[in-house]
Structure 1
Amino acid sequence: MLLSSFFAASLVALSSASQPPVVNSRAGIFHGRHLPTFHQDVYLGIKYAPKPERFAPAKLADDNSTTHLNATQYGVDCTGYGSDTNTLVSGGWTTLGEDCLHLNIIKPIVKKRKEKLPVLLWIYGGGWQQGATSDPSRYNLSYIVQQSSFNNKPVIGISINYRMAAFGFISSKEIDATGNQNLGLRDQRLAMQWVNRHISAFGGDPKKVTIWGESAGAYSVGDHINAYNGDAGGLFRAAVMESGVAVGAPLNGTDWYQHIYDNLTASVGCANATDTLQCIRDVPYDKIAPYGYVGLEWFHVRDGTFIPRHGQASLAQGRFAKIPIIVGTNTDEGFGVNGVDTDAQAIEQLTHSKRWNVNATVAGRMLKLYPNDPAVGAPYGWGNRTWPQYGAQYKRYTSIATDLTMFAPRRLMAESMSKYVEGVYSYRWDAPKFNNTPTTIGVNHFSEIPFVFGNPEQTITPLGNSIENMALSRLVGRMWASFAYDLDPNGHGVSGVPTWPQYSKIVSNFVFRADESYIEDDDDRVDSVAYINSLVR
């Protein structure tokens, strides 16, 4: 927005106490906020693209070096929720939800340093169906940026919004005919282009960008590594992937998505329209949004360009960006289902799940590779303990699901990329986010997030007041920032920590624990993981 009279008055009022930071760039004149507690300047809600046409690619925001822009507040989330609750309509959705392509820049104040700062760019997860940059409890980048400064390896933190669910990942024969698949991933790529073009004005180095994500965000990072046959376009030089890689998430095609598209058009009264795509483009956002965010069925699709083939094939053919990476999973990722009591029910779940996409032959082989023995099932390290309320084969099925979704693809990516590049680092996260209880079992999905972001005030995933937890948080935050700074996570400055070897040198994982981290051989479940990695999903 243009610098309003209200905002101008606010700047004048603040100037007596502290002068708000201002950046002059080709994109505009950005008025940000100073955070004295962190010794950082932040520029929030920067639009990298104007409101896009629904179900069509976004376009990079035009440059206008003379326009004043308020960069003091987070932008609206892509679901229609934002930091300004006054924008919400009575139904819970606002048309601003489609004008959501913003990014945030967190810059440490660094004196006597001439070189530009490396950039660590965060892509949130949430099943490609939920998430936002305006989540300061879980995804507050100030803490990890602060740790980078404490370690004398300062980085700029950036987080980006992108379209999700139907608005970012819809597919059908109607969509395919326009070539507009994977819009959420293309939004992310556009944000990277904005960063590449403008981050120098904020003190960042466009040649030293590390992209970083968790879950769907990590799968997104993997897609960018494989995109366009590995042509990164100079947009990033390294990547960090937590619980997600370049393979593993289903690449369900048009047949899978067509019924979802048809249900969406029927739900908003467009089923009988001559042009159903144009009809759902014209439906008011607050009418279509409740149907566009239903379910967790939204995945990337092969489109022949951005995603030219299965990720596994790209890795096997060496058609991916040859860059250093950190890649890892949590010990007990999960993603199983409750209520599996028999072999027949396990096969039914595997063959009909929207995530696994395997046939009966593969499902039968999986059951042979994963015996119904609680002592070897997930969550691991619990011996013969079972949770019958979740199903007689809960631990067996959870073990299968963990390996299909996360563990096996992680090993495949580490093995494949280390054949081509130096600087591949693999980890296993073995510190739970909460104390284990009957309802929170093992080191499951999302366990590492509160540690990595290091916010002691988190309310959703608290670290608590544990000295060990805070020490582990400081270690992993510094490792990630050190990797972004000089492509080596070992430059963290914390004593008593084993050196993290490159995967090409020693086939191993760095195991993160609150009591004592260590190095392990990456040899768990060799036969079953090898079988999973022989499949193309």
Structure 2
Amino acid sequence: MLAPRLLVPIFLFSIAEAVEETVDVGYSVYKGQALPNGVSQWLGIRYAAPPLGQLRFAPPQDPPHTEGVQDATQHGKYCLGTGRSPTDTDTSEDCLFLDVQAPTSATAGSKLPVFLYIQGGGFSLNSNPNTNASGLIVNSGHGIVVVSLNYRVGPYGFMTDSDKILPNNGLRDQRKVLEWVQRHIVQFGGDPSHVTLGGSSAGAASVTFHLAANNGTDHGFFHAAIAESPSFASTLTVTQSQYMYTQFATRVGCVGRDNLACMRNKTAVELQTSNFNIPLPGASKPPNYMWLPVLDREFVQDFSYRVFQKGNFVKVPTIYGDDNNGGTKFAPKDTATLQQSNNYVLDQYPDLTLNMLGQINEMYPNPNNSCPAIGCYWRHASNVYQEARYMCPGMYVSSVVTKYGQNAWVYRWNVEDPDQMASGLGVPHTVELAALWGADYFPDPPASYRSGQINANASSAMQHYWLNFIKYYNPNGRPVDSTSNYTKWEAWADNAQSRLTFQTGGLTEMIPVDSGLKRRCEFWSTNGIALTM
């Protein structure tokens, strides 16, 4: 593969026309800063009222009006996470902030494409806060605007009951940002009619939920979608999730008639002390992630497999994809027997039947021949989890998007970092984020992704396709650039399922999906509704 080339800027402006560092968004005036690399940023913009007091566990409300100029040069604190220290000073319950990064040369009339990115964290934490999109913007030829956000997670964003708390407030926080972009992004040089919604892991699951929100009602919030390692988990109804509310209220000492008022009067430290996972109904151990969107028959109308099966989603071009070893971060490394592996999978999907588990064991032979030994079934459990939760759902959604007349592109990230390979992780969940944002802009990237190392070109390759998609809704550009040194990314087709595979060293190639993976994914899509996925 030849050296990467920068994409040609699609807008050029004089500095005299540039957006001012001080921007009035109606309810507040924010002063950001211009960086030496030609990128300006406004950090810690409040997009909703602080979710405190009576607004704890409530839908997001409009941000308050403020007097004077608000400093927008520091990130806002990110949201309290399940299982995290009650005294973590980087987090706060007052966390509903977003960041905007844009070319310094942009004007309010630039109408630049917008990339609205939702971070992951299993709906239990904000796992990638303080996104730095400077490298992506520079490599776009200073031709895009990027928005990133915090949203409530754990019980603060996803606890509900049958009466007092509206479900899925964490998703409603995200919806608030989608609405904010439509109202205000033009003042930062962005085009509200050209928005690509993206996310990773739970952020990619969020993208999928927004595609299907309110039975696929298209509010014009976004016009293309990117989902990196989208997660399909067990989805409970509001009634089924009541036990989480009851257990949490009991742990924090709020029983009796006024239990919600009691919880709203507790300090965040008191709540955090009791903020940990418990088993799902029918499971023996807590799942990797417990606080998840629930089936409320309003925002989340149906199980994801069924809502897409029915065609009840926003029809836009999509990119979906996953990492080669997306389960290794999650399955217990000490898994030593087939029974332990089955129990782990059952704890994540308690509706699995004994017959289904038997079929799973037939489809997923143990790749480790060192048994009996501690950890010899780690990869067995990992392989089942990765395909059930991430890889197969993404391929299924892509097939349905194609069926309903939109182009879909599917990728596989197989860029091997020597340290991760030596540790046994392989190519783990969401490792491509370091390539998306660039190793110089991402906290603690794999060493091989840094400049001058073996996988440095992987970032150039990924950014090439992602920027084309953000600009043109086509990862190959518009029209397809026949002079490009990059592999042409063929759109997904059910009769010829092929994925763009990112390989070690930044190489790319189209590789057909093998028959074994097709068969396993057919099992998950066939049984997905029964498993409440």
Q: TM-score range by the shorter chain?
A: 0.7 to 0.9
Q: 1:116–1:203: 8 Å Cα contact kept in structure 2? A: yes
- 1:460 deviates by 2.1
Q: How many aligned positions are there?
A: 487
Q: Read off the aligned partner of 1:102 and give its amino acid letter.
A: F
Q: Read off the aligned partner of 2:41 and give its amino acid letter.
A: V
- 1:62 deviates by 5.6
- 1:404 deviates by 0.8
* RMSD over equivalenced CA pairs, Å: 2.9
Distance 2:474 2:105 in 1: 21
Q: 1:95–1:286: 8 Å Cα contact kept in structure 2? A: no
Distance 2:252 2:379 in 1: 41
TM-score (norm 2): 0.84
Aligned to 2:71: 70
Q: Tell me which of 437, 441, 465 is aligned to 2:425.
A: 441
Residues 113 and 194 of structure 1: CA distance in aligned 2, closer, same or farther (over 3 Å): closer
Q: Does 1:319 align with 2:312?
A: yes
- 1:134 deviates by 4.2
Could you say what secondary structure the match of 2:156 adopts? Answer: helix
Q: 2:215–2:307: 8 Å Cα contact kept in structure 1? A: yes
Q: Does 1:289 align with 2:298?
A: no
Q: 1:408–1:529: 8 Å Cα contact kept in structure 2? A: yes
- 1:355 deviates by 4.6
Residues 270 and 320 of structure 1: CA distance in aligned 2, closer, same or farther (over 3 Å): same
Residues 270 and 504 of structure 1: CA distance in aligned 2, closer, same or farther (over 3 Å): same
Aligned to 1:98: 93
- 1:432 deviates by 3.1
Distance 1:269 1:476 in 2: 49
Q: Tell me which of 48, 57, 64 is aligned to 1:55.
A: 57
Q: Does 1:302 align with 2:295?
A: yes
Q: Read off the aligned partner of 1:299 and give its amino acid letter.
A: L
- 1:392 deviates by 3.1
Q: Read off the aligned partner of 2:163 and give its amino acid letter.
A: A
Aligned to 2:497: 507
Q: 1:512–1:518: 8 Å Cα contact kept in structure 2? A: yes
Q: Read off the aligned partner of 1:415 and give its amino acid letter.
A: S
- 1:323 deviates by 0.7
Q: 1:433–1:461: 8 Å Cα contact kept in structure 2? A: no
Q: Tell me which of 465, 469, 477 is aligned to 2:455.
A: 469
Unpaired stretches in structure 2, ≥5 consecutive residues = 1-17, 279-288
Q: 1:433–1:448: 8 Å Cα contact kept in structure 2? A: no
Aligned to 1:190: 176
Distance 2:216 2:204 in 1: 16
> In the TM superposition, what whole-angstrom CA distance separates every residue of 1:294-327 from its partner, at most 9, and x where no partner exists?
5731111101111000010011100001011110
- 1:514 deviates by 3.0
Q: 1:167–1:292: 8 Å Cα contact kept in structure 2? A: no
Distance 2:414 2:127 in 1: 26
Residues 373 and 470 of structure 1: CA distance in aligned 2, closer, same or farther (over 3 Å): closer
- 1:34 deviates by 0.8
Q: Read off the aligned partner of 2:513 and give its amino acid letter.
A: D
Which 10-residue stretch deviates more, 517-526 or 227-236?
A: 517-526
Residues 355 and 43 of structure 1: CA distance in aligned 2, closer, same or farther (over 3 Å): farther
Aligned to 1:365: 359
- 1:529 deviates by 1.5
Q: Tell me which of 151, 156, 159 is aligned to 1:167.
A: 156
Aligned to 1:209: 195
Aligned to 2:379: 395
- 1:461 deviates by 2.3
- 1:146 deviates by 1.4
- 1:179 deviates by 5.3
Distance 1:307 1:62 in 2: 28
Could you say what secondary structure the match of 1:177 adopts? Answer: coil
- 1:292 deviates by 2.9
Q: 2:120–2:128: 8 Å Cα contact kept in structure 1? A: no
What pairs up with 1:4-43 in 2 under 5 angstroms? Answer: 21-36=21-36, 38-43=37-42
> In the TM superposition, what whole-angstrom CA distance separates every residue of 1:385-426 from its partner, at most 9, and x where no partner exists?
x59755333332222111111111111111111111332110
Residues 257 and 472 of structure 1: CA distance in aligned 2, closer, same or farther (over 3 Å): same
Aligned to 1:527: 519
Could you say what secondary structure the match of 1:336 adopts? Answer: coil
What pairs up with 1:332-351 in 2 under 5 angstroms? Answer: 332-334=325-327, 335-351=330-346
Q: Read off the aligned partner of 1:363 and give its amino acid letter.
A: L
Residues 389 and 206 of structure 1: CA distance in aligned 2, closer, same or farther (over 3 Å): farther
Q: 1:179–1:303: 8 Å Cα contact kept in structure 2? A: no
Unpaired stretches in structure 1, ≥5 consecutive residues = 1-17, 82-89, 375-383
Q: Read off the aligned partner of 1:238 and give its amino acid letter.
A: A
Residues 467 and 372 of structure 1: CA distance in aligned 2, closer, same or farther (over 3 Å): closer
Aligned to 1:12: none
> In the TM superposition, what whole-angstrom CA distance separates every residue of 1:240-286 from its partner, at most 9, and x where no partner exists?
100015xx222133465333322321222112x21212211121222
- 1:343 deviates by 3.6
Residues 63 and 231 of structure 1: CA distance in aligned 2, closer, same or farther (over 3 Å): farther
Could you say what secondary structure the match of 1:302 adopts? Answer: coil
Could you say what secondary structure the match of 1:149 adopts? Answer: coil
Distance 1:167 1:112 in 2: 37
Q: Read off the aligned partner of 2:365 and give its amino acid letter.
A: P
Q: 2:324–2:413: 8 Å Cα contact kept in structure 1? A: yes
Could you say what secondary structure the match of 1:456 adopts? Answer: helix
TM-score (norm 1): 0.84
> In the TM superposition, what whole-angstrom CA distance separates every residue of 1:13-68 from its partner, at most 9, and x where no partner exists?
xxxxx9971223434332111111x211101111111113011101133677x753
Residues 134 and 436 of structure 1: CA distance in aligned 2, closer, same or farther (over 3 Å): closer
Residues 299 and 111 of structure 1: CA distance in aligned 2, closer, same or farther (over 3 Å): closer
Distance 1:170 1:41 in 2: 37
Aligned to 2:281: none
Q: Read off the aligned partner of 1:178 and give its amino acid letter.
A: K
Residues 67 and 522 of structure 1: CA distance in aligned 2, closer, same or farther (over 3 Å): farther
Could you say what secondary structure the match of 2:504 adopts? Answer: coil
Distance 2:343 2:81 in 1: 37
Could you say what secondary structure the match of 1:319 adopts? Answer: coil
- 1:94 deviates by 7.0
Q: Read off the aligned partner of 1:453 and give its amino acid letter.
A: W
Distance 2:166 2:24 in 1: 34
Q: Read off the aligned partner of 2:464 and give its amino acid letter.
A: R
Aligned to 1:3: none
Residues 388 and 446 of structure 1: CA distance in aligned 2, closer, same or farther (over 3 Å): farther
Q: Does 1:221 align with 2:199?
A: no
Percent identical residues: 28
Q: Read off the aligned partner of 2:363 and give its amino acid letter.
A: L
Q: Read off the aligned partner of 2:218 and give its amino acid letter.
A: A
Distance 2:222 2:499 in 1: 24
